[in-house]
Amino acid sequence: MGHDQFGGLTGRDLEGFHNGGDTELWRRLGSHVVTLPDGAGGQATGVRFAVWAPNARSVQVIGDFNWWTGDALQLVPGSGVWATFIEGLGEGTLYKFRIETADGSWVEKVDPMARFSEQAPANASIVYESRYVWSDDEWMQARAASAAHAEPMSVYELHLGGWRRGKSYLDLAEELVSYVKWQGYTHVEFMPLAEHPFEPSWGYQVTGYFSPTSRFGKPDDLRYLIDRLHQAGIGVIMDWVPGHFPKDEWALGRFDGTALYEHADPRQGEHMDWGTYIFNYGRNEVKSFLVSNALYWAKEFHIDGLRVDAVASMLYLDYSREEGQWVPNEFGGRENLDAIDFLRYVNTHLYEREPGIIMIAEESTSFPGVTKPVHAGGLGFGFKWNMGWMNDSLRYVQLDPVYRQYEHNLLTFAMVYQYSENFLLPISHDEVVHGKGSMVNKVPQDDWRKFATLRAFYSYMWSFPGKQLVFMGCEFGQRPEFNESISLEWWVSELWGHGGLQRLFRDLNLTYRANPALYALDNDPSGFSWINADDAARNTLAWVRHDGQGNHVACITNFSPEPLTDYEIGLPTPGDWEEILNTDAPIYDGSGEFGNLGRIVADDRPWSHFPATARVTVPPLGSIWLRYSTAP
């Protein structure tokens, strides 16, 4: 068959892969059903297998079609890629690669580019071609014209296996979509859906970067779930893990007997804490592999955003290492220059190729310019998780109210650096696992105070500058920590306190989305004015949010168990202000005793830096939002 022994693959096809510029590598490597000229004027259909293993002596493909005994692949000249075409094979074929290493030993490996895999604990790769026809054109067109920073974003983070145990992608396309739409979130964020062998890793130990986990169905079933979310007006963010990969002997590690995807030197190539390998970001083929993977999820699955996991571990060569356990960069510093270049590359490429996509960094240090554009010297992310805000505010709500006055700055300090990055405020799965306790169990004292404090806290969070993210179960006050092996305790949402919190979340989302003052200028100092940042004695914070179009929402939160009556505040304009949220309302299982009868009137007496003054009632452990409605 001449060159068709490689299934139509040529050395020229692989040039981009080797220079780091192939951003659609899944089209070339892996397994593909192809139809080729058969040399006798006809055509032959079968599967082309191709795998990068430059230091192998020989490579075989083994599978259910050859009783797992092996068909030899040939080395595409000058490419380090081995390929073959086997006529008569098609979709559903199970296969692996058997690789003979330089020392003559043999290893069996799954395909790094597999687009479907056997369900764990089995791990064979599966030949798969998508036939999915999308119905989300309206969503994709609107996304391309969107401006994420000036739009509402409230994200529901979830682990698919633990949301409702035993549900498939197709089940979730009904149940999850209707629930998220009812709750009013703008986006879901899936914990990693790439194939992973160890379920308690929650997907953060990836063995199949191009393979959606088969635990919940086929890849086209996942496409259907995402399509249905889009048709319901809900964006889809997915966790992406380019920081490290597990050492399972059948996966990426020491793929051809040498350190291929990872650094050879353990000081650069291993995370001792996690027992994982670190990608070699300076290697062109690894860059092609990873940037292709990011684009793959966006192009092939219409993912709207990637939340990049553990960015800090990528940025610093000495991350979680003692002296002598790391290798400085060429300038003697601790920054991983290859990883920084790679992140700039992947962010630039995705924003160019996929209009409206959102790249989010989970970055826990003060590395400068995470969300600054690459051309301005930044990393080029769209958003960064605000870990400082999260740590400070959780420390605050865990204090007994009598001590909160002494730690008031925990809630005000975040405004000092608010405009240094484009922030997203996360109450994520990380905060409700590993002995940290659920959100409801972090708050001291009895159930009335626990739930009142949570309602006030989430109101404070939803009105603070920045987008929001909350982990599943927090919205109804689940008491146990997250456990991936069982479902959320949905039944408690019928109970007092839990149901009220769940109804509050719905109203927070709907009210937030209906009021541009709460989101339009998240990243602009003109979108926020303190009313009173310094009322530590009463555990109270007050501010106004603005949208630049004359709309204002005043937000006052009282973290003390004493009600505030006749509490004087300044406001940006006199006239009627409507009470659009009160976390003490009976519908949220509050007392209903402390409110403003739906509205207050501000008169034109100056107050501090404001032209108008009003007196309001703020409930104990409660929050109110007031929206300017009419002039006097």
Domains observed in the chain: 2-126 (2.60.40.10), 525-630 (2.60.40.1180)
Name the 3-class secondary structure at 263: coil
The pLDDT score that the predictor gives to residue 27 is 97
Q: What is the DSSP string of 243-302?
A: S-EE--TTSSTTTTSS-SSB-SSHHHHEETTTTEE-B-TTSHHHHHHHHHHHHHHHHHH-
Q: pLDDT band at 28, cuts 50/70/90?
A: very high
Work out the number of other CB atoms within 10 angstroms of the CB of residue 413: 14
Number of H helices, E strands in the chain: 15, 30
552 Cβ partners below 8 Å, 6+ apart?
517, 544, 545, 546, 571, 572, 573, 627, 628
Work out the number of other CB atoms within 10 angstroms of the CB of residue 383: 26
pLDDT in tens, 255-290: 999 999 999 999 999 998 899 999 999 999 999 999
Asked whether the predicted pLDDT for residue 522 surpasses 70, the reply is: yes
What is the mean predicted confidence (pLDDT) over 244-262?
Answer: 96
Which residues is 579 bridged to in the sheet?
626
Whole-angstrom distance, CA of residue 505 vs CA of residue 307 = 23
Which helix (DSSP H) or strand (DSSP E) does residue 339 occupy?
helix 337-353
Whole-angstrom distance, CA of residue 458 vs CA of residue 464 = 10
pLDDT in tens, 566-620: 999 999 999 999 999 999 999 999 999 999 989 999 999 999 999 999 999 999 9
The pLDDT score that the predictor gives to residue 632 is 56
For the chain, percent of residues with pLDDT exceeding 90: 92
Q: What is the DSSP string of 559-583?
A: -SSS-EEEEEEEESS-EEEEEEEET
Work out the number of other CB atoms within 10 angstroms of the CB of residue 231: 15
Residue tagged 């490597």 (tokens): 29
Q: Is the dihedral of CA 464, 469, 474, 476 positive or negative?
A: positive
In one-letter notation, the amino acid at residue 76 is V
Alpha helices (H) in 145-218, listed in sequence order: 160-163, 169-183
The pLDDT score that the predictor gives to residue 631 is 61
Average model confidence (pLDDT) across the chain = 95
Work out the number of other CB atoms within 10 angstroms of the CB of residue 46: 19
In one-letter notation, the amino acid at residue 311 is V
Q: Can you read off the two tokens belonging to residue 357?
A: 């996509």
Q: Measuring CA to CA, how many Å separate 226 from each of 19, 113, 144, 177, 397?
A: 33, 22, 17, 9, 36
pLDDT in tens, 545-562: 999 999 999 999 999 999
DSSP character for 316? Answer: B
Active-site option among 22, 270, 304, 309: 309
Residue tagged 């949402």 (tokens): 493
What is the mean predicted confidence (pLDDT) over 155-168?
Answer: 96
The pLDDT score that the predictor gives to residue 4 is 72
Q: pLDDT band at 435, cuts 50/70/90?
A: confident
pLDDT in tens, 313-336: 999 999 999 988 999 999 999 999
Whole-angstrom distance, CA of residue 343 vs CA of residue 347 = 6
The pLDDT score that the predictor gives to residue 41 is 82
The answer to whether 538 and 562 have CB atoms below 8 angstroms apart is yes
Which residues is 569 bridged to in the sheet?
614
Q: Which of 31, 30, 59, 44 is nearest to 1 (CA)?
A: 44
The pLDDT score that the predictor gives to residue 596 is 92
The answer to whether 258 and 224 have CB atoms below 8 angstroms apart is no
Work out the number of other CB atoms within 10 angstroms of the CB of residue 565: 10
Rounded to the nearest 10°, the torsion over CA 332, 337, 339, 342 is: -170
Asked whether the predicted pLDDT for residue 1 surpasses 60, the reply is: no
Q: pLDDT band at 200, cuts 50/70/90?
A: confident
Q: Is 256 among the catalytic positions?
A: no
The answer to whether 366 and 384 have CB atoms below 8 angstroms apart is no
Radius of gyration of the chain (CA): 27
Asked whether the predicted pLDDT for residue 233 surpasses 90, the reply is: yes
Whole-angstrom distance, CA of residue 545 vs CA of residue 515 = 10
Q: Is 309 among the catalytic positions?
A: yes
DSSP character for 239? Answer: E
Question: Mutual orientation of helices 498-514 and 447-463 as an angle, nearest 10°?
Answer: 10
Q: What is the DSSP string of 502-544?
A: HHHHHHHHHHHHH-GGGTTTTTSGGGEEEEEEEEGGGTEEEEE
Q: Can you read off the two tokens belonging to residue 174?
A: 């009904």
Lowest mean pLDDT among 195-199, 541-545, 564-568: 195-199
Alpha helices (H) in 109-235, listed in sequence order: 137-144, 160-163, 169-183, 219-231
Alpha helices (H) in 398-531, listed in sequence order: 401-404, 409-412, 439-442, 447-463, 498-514
In degrees, rounded to 5, the angle at the alpha carbon of residue 404 between the alpha carbons of residues 398 and 410 is: 80
The pLDDT score that the predictor gives to residue 575 is 96
pTM reported for the whole predicted model: 0.96
Q: Can you read off the two tokens belonging to residue 144?
A: 């391309």
Q: What is the DSSP string of 14-49?
A: GHHHHHT--S-GGGTSEEEEEEEE-SSSSEEEEEEE
Which helix (DSSP H) or strand (DSSP E) does residue 108 occupy?
strand 106-109
pLDDT in tens, 339-396: 999 999 999 999 999 999 999 999 988 899 999 999 999 999 999 999 999 999 999 9
Active-site option among 22, 354, 362, 475: 362
For the chain, percent of residues with pLDDT exceeding 70: 99
pLDDT in tens, 477-509: 999 999 989 999 999 999 999 999 999 999 999
